[in-house]
Every structure is written in structure tokens, then in C-alpha cells.
Amino acid sequence: MTYSYSPPIEIPELAFAVSDDGTRIAFRDFRKEADGRPILLFVHATGFHGLSYLPMIALLQDDFRCVAVDLRSHGDSGESPGSIGGVGPNSDSGYAWERLGQDVKAVAECLRSGKGPSQAIFGFGHSSGAVALLLCEETSPGTLQKIYCYEPVMFPPGIDTEIMRSASDRLSGSALRRRRSFASEEEAFSNFASKPPMSAFDERSLGAYVHFGLKDSGDGALSLKCLPESEAKFYEGGSAHMALAGLGSIACPIRFACGGDTDSFGIGLMKLWAAESRIASYSEMEGLGHFGPLEDPVAASSDLRTFLS
């Protein structure tokens, strides 16, 4: 892949909501004047940002008022407060995944402000972003009217804790080893495109990730907006959240989707989560992996549109 990036649609200015612990949560609202379209939140996977899904937004913007959300410590959002007492759901850590649910709630409330509860808000979430949507609706019922979850990070009951810990350690270690500084966007693009998993990304998705995911580090170089240390901290909490325990409390429709070639959370788990939910369906996209929405935004957008219709 060669690098030549230009956004496919006009990018709105940054806006901010404030999460429950005071963290500023950035989002970009692709609204139009007198906009009556239902709101569709795009909530990213760990280490990414809302505009990584810009190819999907471009495909769906005619029917939905798309909003790209940057969870805490990602993209243009504020850094999460320091960790206190671990990353479990009952800790005070800013890296506990329950905080991500509060970030989603803050954005939804900001968008709905002055419009009343009749304003429909749908959610598309990928990986940890899918968990954030579930946690938001579990703790604040009625915030979302439909939730699309692509491979949410939830482990089945009874799984060996050593397996979960090993997975978290592997991902954390990978994040800490990730190159964080580049001379140019072209160099960053080439670096990420040369190895998995990003070598499988659609070049439009990878271009958006690079273009909007780097910042001037002040020394003439560009650095990742999401600090590898922060990314690693979130991976530590991947098995500690309580989204699965509250799944049956969610009253709105949910779609659990996965890639047919995933090495992470496959169709068996999607069927299991659907059975645990009140109103749910599941889907599998042939040939895609855990990063399916970034590998084939056309296929992901089609499945999402079908669910939301």
C-alpha cells in the first residue's frame, strides 16, 4: 500500500463532553442543519480513535447522524486519571472499563441535551468499544435504542483466569513495544501497513487511523495520540469488567457480530451472548478477522445498516 490520504468527507470541528470523573471526552458530530436522522455513535477499539471508522461514516452518513467518539486517553480526549487500586469494576481507576461506559453516556447526554428522551441514539462499538456501549446501557438504561457489537471483549463463564491473564499480558506487552514516533505520516503508514494486524486493513481505514491518530510532538516528529502506556493499562482491565453480568438487563435490541476468520471472539460466543440477551441477533462476516470493520468497512457498514433498519 502507498500513502496518499485525503478525508472522503468534510470533518466537523471537535466538541467535548465531560465524563463522570471530569475527563474531557472528544467527539466529532457529522450533523446537518435541521437534522432529523437518528444519531449513530462510533465507539472504537483500544488503541484507535473514532475517526478510524471514517470509511464507514462516509457510507452511512446519508441515513444517520454519525458521531465519532474518542474514549478517554485516546484520540483528542483527555488522559485518564491515574490508576488507584487496580482496574477492576469496583476500583477507582480511570482505566477500569466501566469508565468507558461513562464516557459514552457523557457524549450521549451532550448530544441529547435540550432534545428530550425521544432523540434516538444508536451505537456501533468495536471490541472494547462494544463493551463500552453495553456498560453504558446497563448502568444508564434508555441511553441507547440499538447496540451493534463487533466482537465485544467478553470471556465465557468458567474460563481459566490464567488464559485471560495471558491474553491481557500479551496485548499489554505488544502495546508497550509499539513504535510511537515517526518522521512523517508516510513513515507511520508504511510501518503499520508492513505487519499484522494492520497489514490487513483497508487502506482508507489505515489512512484515517494514521492521519487523525498522530500529533506534533514538538521536536519535529509525530507521535501517537494514544500513549502505549495508556493502551497497555486498558488491556489489563479487559477481563475485569462486568458487562457480561448485566447483559440480561439491557432492553434494547443488540446485534453481536464477528469475523469468520477471527482468532479472538468467534460466532460461538456471539450466539452465546445473544442467548444471554433479551432481544438480540448475531452475524458472521466471511473472511474477516477481529478488526473486520477496519478490514472491510463496506461489509461492516452493510451489516450495521441491515440491523439498524
Domains of the chain and any CATH numbers:
14-159+231-308 (3.40.50.1820)
- Among candidates 168, 201, 221, 181, which has minimal Cα distance to 288? 201
Integer CA distances (angstroms), 220 to 188, 203, 239, 250, in order: 14, 25, 38, 48
Amino acid 170: pLDDT:
83
Phi, psi at residue 49, to the nearest 5°?
A: -155, 170
> CA 125 from chain center: how many Å?
5
Q: How many residues make up the chain in this entry?
A: 309
CB 131 within 8 A of CB 152: yes
Question: What CA–CA distance (Å, rounded) separates 132 from 215?
Answer: 25
Burial 51-65 (b: 16+ CB within 10 A, else e): bbbbbbbbbbbeebb
First and final CA of the chain: distance in angstroms? 35
pLDDT string in tens for the chain (309-residue length): 778 899 999 999 999 999 999 999 999 999 987 678 999 999 999 999 999 999 999 999 999 999 999 999 999 999 988 653 444 544 457 888 999 999 999 999 999 886 655 679 999 999 999 999 999 999 999 999 999 999 999 988 877 677 777 777 788 888 888 899 999 999 999 999 999 999 999 999 999 999 999 999 888 899 999 999 999 999 987 777 889 999 999 999 999 999 999 999 999 999 999 999 999 999 999 999 999 999 999 999 999 999 999
For the four alpha carbons of 215, 197, 126 and 287, in that order, the dihedral sign comes to: positive
Count other Cβ atoms within 10 Å, centred on residue 308. 19
Sole residue written with cell 477481529? 290
Residues 9-25: b if buried by 16+ CB within 10 A, e if exposed = eebeeeebbebeeebbb
Q: What is the pLDDT of residue 108?
A: 97
Q: Using CB atoms within 10 Å of the CB of residue 221, give its burial: 0 to 12 exposed, 13 to 18 middle, 19+ buried.
A: middle
| Dihedral of alpha carbons 107, 111, 114, 118, sign | negative
